[in-house]
Amino acid sequence: MTSKIRLTADEIRYMALFESITGVAARDCIIDNHSNKITFITNKNEAGIAVGKNGSKIKLLRKTTGRNIEIIEYADNVQDFIKNAFTFIKVYFKLKP
């Protein structure tokens, strides 16, 4: 049985804004009010496009939303997705079957 993911009105609004500014469609959006951050999940190989030259698109998103912005590229498997989430930190792990 598969469960459906439901987006809130705020998540839909931020995803539309993200696409409007970056030209990249977000697969998902996580709003962290405690950290004042929004994390967007993009398709493979689209994070660089979303960031823009010298971070110009991210800077505009920060200014528009008043929040910190994080972008993570989607991956088909858990290991690669976690690596993408920690792109600035070297992460080595082995999942047990």
Give residue 84's pLDDT band: very low, low, confident or very high (50, 70, 90).
confident
pLDDT digits (tens, 9 = 90+) for 3-46: 677 889 999 999 999 999 999 999 999 999 999 999 999 999 99
90 pLDDT band (50/70/90 cuts)? very low
User: Residue 56, Cβ neighbours under 10 Å: how many?
Assistant: 12
CB 22 within 8 A of CB 52: yes
Q: For the domain with range 9-85, which CATH number is right: 3.10.310.40, 3.40.50.10090, 3.30.300.20, 3.90.105.10?
A: 3.30.300.20
Residue with tokens 């190989």: 45
**Could you tell me the end-to-end alpha-carbon distance of the chain, in angstroms, rounded to an integer?**
22
Question: pTM of the full predicted structure?
Answer: 0.82
